[in-house]
Chains A and B, each alone.
Chain A
Amino acid sequence: MGVTREGVEATLTSKLQPTYLEVIDTSGGCGASFAVAIVSSAFEGKRLLERHRIVNTALAEEMKSIHALSISKALTPKQWNDQQPAEEQKAPAAEVQEHPATAVV
């Protein structure tokens, strides 16, 4: 049995008590690679590299089976809150709009 997204979530939740956590299996479900975005007070006062180490350490057991781990966000709750209004105001890069069907004659 390989590593699962649920397992990674459970481990990070247990060890880091995140206020926000997103785990994506980027290997199509086979548990070989994951992308993580996490917000936790455990990162207070920690530099970027240290935060990534904290996540890596928390997932030490899972890392034995994981081929690749990408940590896209490792933020403190304050940093996360500060980012939210700015990101919400940013216009989406692309907008998809459906139009009525058009017949071809």
Chain B
Amino acid sequence: MDMASAMASSRSVLALARSTPSPSASASSTSGVAVAAAAPSLRAVRFSSAAAFGSGTSWTIKRPVLRGATMHRVRDVVSCSLKKLAEVELTDLTNNPSPSFPAAPGIYAVYDKAGDLQYIGLSRRVSASLQSHMRELPELCASAKFAVVDAPERAALTDAWKSWMEEHINQGGNVPPGNVSGNTTWTARKARAAKPEIKLTPGAHVKLNVPIETLIDKVVKDLKVVAFIKGTRTSPQCGFSHRVLTILNEQGVDYEVLNVLDEDHNPGLREVIKKYSQWPTIPQLYVKGEFVGGADVLDEMVQSGEIKDLFKN
């Protein structure tokens, strides 16, 4: 589940909009904070990022610096020049079969064929989220806007997301249907669509009549794309397994998953697969019967462009 899903499932967007103080209220609150007589100073640190905010823009964080005096801490003030939703270029999804999205943290907005805003999301990997939505909800994904947020922290992503949501509402728009509290269109369907993992045995109560190596070999050779990971498709248990799943989802391939941690159904798989491939780590990806590698190999293939050839035919 990406962060947008977490936001949609846990908080009311309307409440968020109402709870955000107005600029004047924020200023009033700041000016009302008491400080010691020996006024401490603030150090300003400016971050400049063309990728996130366009050429020449910047955002500044001001933090208090204590110098020989106790003071009441002023809430950190983050001033952001994130490009406005209205100013971001629209990317067509219908007539562009392979749109280019940033594999980076950011926010995005999805529009239907009528040009109505359907959903504003945030993600640690914008490309993965948008590719997923296009695959799961093609009827609602005609075009999109996105912006990279260099700071991957949840707070920064949330602030950026709030900024776009507030802008849309202040411009007279309604809360996008996908963001309305209780609407799980953009999250539940993905969960329902998740394929079950392959299990090598019916359960711990069944003894194998054939070596597990034989079962592995059959799975690898009979299926086109197979990933041996720690965890499940919807709940990977390590970062490397998550990376492999993310890449596979981005590529839009149909693939199978085996959970090496499921000792009940895949006894001994975690160690046997390492001997089978002569590869010491998990996850491991096999394509058309051939071992491809782990997360690092896939990452490099994505960067070099080889990944596209891997899944051809």
Contacts and interface: CB of A to CB of B under 8 A. Distances in A.
Contacts of B237: none
B150 A48 contact: no
Contact of B240 (A52, A56, A68): A68
Contacts of A63: 280-281
B39 A99 contact: no
Contact of A53 (B35, B39, B278): B278
B261 interface: no
Contact of B279 (A48, A56, A91, A96): A56
A86 interface: no
B46 A105 contact: no
Q: Interface size bucket, A side?
A: 20 to 34
Nearest to B60: A99
Interface in B32-75: 35, 39-51, 62, 64-65, 74
A102 B150 contact: no
Contacts of A49: 291-293, 297
Interface string A18-41: 000000000000000000000000
Interface string A47-60: 01100110010001
A104 B74 contact: yes
B62 A102 contact: yes
Interface in B261-301: 278-281, 291-297, 300-301
Contacts of A1: none
A97 B150 CA distance: 16
A103 B42 contact: yes
A28 B37 CA distance: 42
A53 to B, nearest CB: 7
B297 A94 contact: no
- Is the contact region of chain B dominated by helix, strand, or loop, or is it mixed? mixed
Contacts of A102: 41-44, 62
A104 B40 contact: yes
B43 A98 contact: yes
Contact of A52 (B35, B238, B297): B297
Contacts of A52: 293-294, 296-297
B129 to A, nearest CB: 20
Given A49-B291, A53-B279, A95-B48, A104 B41 contact: yes
A102 B45 CA distance: 11
Given A49-B292, A53-B279, A94-B150, A99 B297 contact: no
A104 B35 contact: yes
A60 B65 CA distance: 50
Given A68-B240, A102-B44, A102-B62, A93 B150 contact: yes
A72 B238 CA distance: 17
A77 B150 CA distance: 31
Interface in A45-103: 48-49, 52-53, 56, 60, 63, 68-72, 91, 93-103
A76 B293 CA distance: 19
Nearest to B300: A48
A55 to B, nearest CB: 10
A97 B300 contact: no
Contacts of A105: 39
Contacts of B296: 52, 70-72
Contact of A94 (B49, B292, B306): B49
A101 B281 contact: no
Interface of A: 48-49, 52-53, 56, 60, 63, 68-72, 91, 93-105
15 contacts: A48-B293, A48-B300, A48-B306, A52-B297, A60-B280, A68-B238, A68-B281, A69-B281, A70-B296, A93-B150, A97-B45, A97-B48, A99-B44, A102-B42, A102-B44
